[in-house]
Amino acid sequence: MKHNTMYVDEMIPQVLDILETYGYSKRTLWMNMYGEFSRIKSFYQRQGTLVYDPEITEACVREATEQYREGRIQRSFYNTVRKAASRLNEYYHTGTLEWSCNKRNTKYTLCDEFNRLLDAFLHSRDFHKNTKWDFAWAVRRYLYFFEQMGFRRMADVTMKHVRQFIVAAAPEMTDGSLHNLLCYIRQFHIFLQENGEAAPDCIELLSYPIPRKARIKGYITDDELVRIMAQINTKTAMGKRDAAIISLGATTGLRAVDIVHLRLGDIDWRKGEVRISQSKTSESLSLPLVHETGELIKDYILNARPASAYGEIFLRARAPICPLADGVPVGDMFAQYVKKAGIERKPYDGKTFHGLRRHLAKNLIVSGVPVTTIAQILGHQSMESVKQYLSLDGQNLKECALDFSAIPLAREGVVM
């Protein structure tokens, strides 16, 4: 595609004007963001040109990357340079900007050869969107371990080094996480083998089974939910949104990612139903919308939701005004309210947003709702997935246990 000549010093104010339409204040744009773009402009001036060229911008990013690795600039400043470069490139190629929330940059930065292998692996198959980044994280961590040992090619890595990686990773991970990590890396080595890439043949080593411990997962109790909701200031726009999201999670069991993707047309107000297509399974699901939750959602939509052309119900409360990127912000938001409520946290205690899903399941079980119905409400395709919730009903399980009152006892054969 042929581009008209564009000058970086002219592009910067045009990009800032577009960002203003996303809700950024002029003060934020010109007092903060302008400096981020000026770094790139200064780099162009040092190259003796102001004519925009994506390759020059990429060279600027590489310079910042080296400075970051050498500790001459902070990570936050490095990230702002990359973001500014990305926005200039997007404007150069498209003439506009589509705002998106980038995922947190990884700390496992790789050399060019390892990046090539990772990119080739991720493009070698049609990964499910929910697992692609899990694979990327696992392989990136794996390759970074070898890079820190001084390797720049998989051909130089041996079985001994792979074992060292496993030994180093094991103490930092749960059995389940380690099992998944090795599964992802095994698939990476299968890819290397099928494509003739030189690497140690460690598929058998990575196939070694790691037994998972059956952990009883915790949940948010009724009392804790009351305390959490009490921390929300529903007089503010953000509070109205957060109260609606948490109530929706507690009364429907919807995952955070499905709540952020919920659109205005997904609620049938006359029937009192929420209709979605689950992100995890792509299965359609219809759930009842209880009155209290419906009122909170209506209050947010009518009195707090920013004016926007977006169809998603829940939007960011601050600029840029747009839908939430994924379920991560919801989890972070919930964690803040849990902390304010004075709820003590422990590893794997279930006091997370997903704990609201188990909160609903536990209440349904105690109420005597059939397991098959609970599976339908939570959108589980397998009954095996529902069995995890049975362990939450500790009191009723105790009542099911047999005592010894009906078992006759005899003294014969007792060794004194």
Q: Which residues are known to be catalytic?
A: 255, 280, 354, 357, 380, 389
Distances (CA, A) of 229 to 59, 90, 220, 237: 49, 41, 12, 15
Give yes or no for a contact between 281 and 381, defined as CB atoms under 8 angstroms apart: yes
Q: How far is Cα 189 from Cα 195, in angstroms, rounded to an integer?
A: 10
The CA R_g of the chain, rounded to the nearest whole Å, is 27
Distances (CA, A) of 5 to 45, 87, 226, 369: 16, 17, 60, 67
Give CB contacts under 8 A, 24+ apart, made by 195-200.
195/120, 195/124, 197/117, 197/154, 198/153, 198/154, 198/155, 199/154, 199/155, 199/157, 200/154, 200/157, 200/158, 200/159, 200/161, 200/162
Instruction: Determine phi and psi for 213, rounding to 5 degrees.
Output: -80, 135
Omega within 30 of 0 (cis) for the link into 211 = no
How many of the other CB atoms lie within 10 Å of CB of 386? Answer: 19
For residue 131, give the amino acid letter.
Answer: T
User: Token pair 């919930």 is at which residue?
Assistant: 334
Q: How far is Cα 223 from Cα 226, in angstroms, rounded to an integer?
A: 5
